[in-house]
Homo-oligomer: A and B are copies of this chain.
Amino acid sequence: MSRQDQPIGVFDSGIGGLTVVRALRKLLPEESIVYLGDTARVPYGNKSHATIQRYALQAGTILGRYRPKLMVIACNTASAHGLGALQAAAPCPVIGVIEPGAEAASRVKGPVGVIGTLATVQSGAYEDAIRRRNPQALIHSLPCPLLVGFAEEGWLDDPITDAVCRRYLNQIPFEVRTIVLGCTHYPTLLNSLNRTRPDTTWLDSGELAAKAVEDLLRGSLGFRTASARGDLKILLTDAGTRLQEVGERFLGEPLDSVELVEL
């Protein structure tokens, strides 16, 4: 098989990255995707740099078996802590979800907000990536640890979810009109976020990463030559409860073939 027909490998700490797969399949329906979710050790959001880095390298080894033309770390926390190490070790290019989000954020006029897990925000990865492009950028970062739970519980159009979003987002000054969704779970909470802070532009790091993938394929990596819809293979390290229900909500299509792997 020539390289352009090899799959795209996608790695996530759990199933949140399925929102990135959803964006990829919308933008690039012909591409084959192998998704690895580390559901046995999810979430990464409260874990340390060294541990997340180790987990990312292990995931890269598994995905490497499928000879991907490109790997995507579809998790902000894993991107913040594991991207450099995986780029150094992987036999193919690797992109994360932070650089594409930071690229868009760096072009914003005025201050920009970033919300994410504790580990993502404390890593400073968004600040670093935005300031590399725009040293004058004014950035307000805020960890929102409870939002992942609400996305997974599926309380999507719900006054309690609105109240939690409001509690967090009111800590970001009102002049901030653009906020990066620095966690792949957050796009499922967009209704609540919009009610809490209308007239805000939300930068979806997963959607932006899908566009970055398209750019890379258009460059040297190449698009898949077949015109049929690409396969989606899902590997998980643990088949926990409610996976089907929550996963399908994130992916936006049925979760057909799930395979268990050990890390």
Contacts and interface: CB of A to CB of B under 8 A. Distances in A.
Contact of A48 (B118, B152, B153, B238): B238
Interface stretch (A19-27, A39-47, A202-210): A39-47
Interface residues of A, number: 29
Given A41-B40, A146-B146, A160-B160, A242 B46 contact: yes
Interface in A119-170: 119, 122, 145-146, 148-150, 152-153, 159-160, 163-164, 167
A216 interface: no
A241 interface: yes
Contact of A238 (B42, B47, B153, B167): B47
A46 B240 contact: yes
Contact of A40 (B47, B119, B241, B242): B47
Assembly of this chain: how many copies? 2
Nearest to A242: B118
Nearest to A145: B153
A240 B119 contact: yes
Contact of A146 (B39, B46, B149): B149
A44 B225 CA distance: 42
A40 B160 CA distance: 30
Interface of A: 39-42, 46-48, 51, 118-119, 122, 145-146, 148-150, 152-153, 159-160, 163-164, 167, 237-242
